Structure 1
């Protein structure tokens, strides 16, 4: 993989670069702050961006949103030593594909990189028609799905994972109001609905969605499986939830169980 490192600690940048190079990855950039990072990303286009949270100028959460808005194909592995209890959830909701809490060991960083790579590979597999070991086509009428998430990377990956499991994604939208309209128009079998979105969040949109299309199975997509949130969503009509960062095995198990396959 082509990896870019952004961390204000020079020793950390050097350590990560050495580890990645020794494992056969190509380190295509190493930077100490987030200022002007979009220009660097635009010229380099890495596969993975290892991004620290606390940086001079701008914090990592702000940078993730900027990167994912323009380059959803780039996976961001978020790194932090922060003790904030909700930081992993916030990073996932911002679009992080992986999360590493400092200090970390070599095994941990490579396991997270592998999980990120496997997820992207599974999501991209559907586009590779005729590829070796491609799954057999789903027989009969394929059921439809709509995705509602304000993060382009999550929409892209989730679309690939759903289609890999036999669903046809007929529309992807970025907020709850658009989700309500998309469900009215398509009456899909499945709706993947992000909890935190601008204009209208998933929980706010959920009652309107259930009314507009009672047969649609609504799956909440969230970085936090808080019991109160899960209970609230279930009470409003959701059938379950998928956690961010997305992982193929979890999504496949959930979708196959939901569709009775």
Structure 2
């Protein structure tokens, strides 16, 4: 009987396309996810490790037949990859360390185009204030014309605007794919009190039915240190000082 555990790690940023060249991204490098992967690859009880990340994110240094690299770019790519792997394999745990962006570029439009569209909808229509607001908002949500972003948008385009849309909430979908997965999520805040960090991480854990949350404060990361607090249903589970501490702690959680 094969009792080895298959694990997924998500790592690095997501990249949301504006046009063929520009994208919305964040400062995540995937360094922590790669270190966690290297630690898990030492584990005899590991079956398969799926490492999901964008092309330019850090990758595990370890070469292993147990490792499968899965390349994604956007939050939607990540969600599809997770669904595909989880629904087609026996997955024990997910370490969701990817920094998923909140927004994607829904469309690009020039100020002139937008002004013209709004004017055509409201000019000489005798609308009251509420009707004006609703009409303008409808134009912004669903414009009749937008700038072609299938290729590179012209350089130095005056008054270019990008409408942002919300990306899918990836962490909330993971246990919908398989409620029995051991889910480890991550939360990053900046310059907050320890109490606030723990409270926010605890709420995230409960909201998404996660088993653990690794709570980080950006102001306490750097110079070889990566202070983090691991939260479970009982509150504070472990305190860590470095990325190596975090990776070893997650290995114990997954393979204890």
The one of the two structures with greater contact order (alpha-carbon pairs below 8 A, sep at least 6) is 2
Query: Which structure carries more helix by proportion?
Result: 1
TM-score tier (shorter) = 0.3 to 0.5
Query: Which structure carries more strand by proportion?
Result: 2
TM-score norm. by structure 2 comes to 0.39
TM-score norm. by structure 1 comes to 0.38
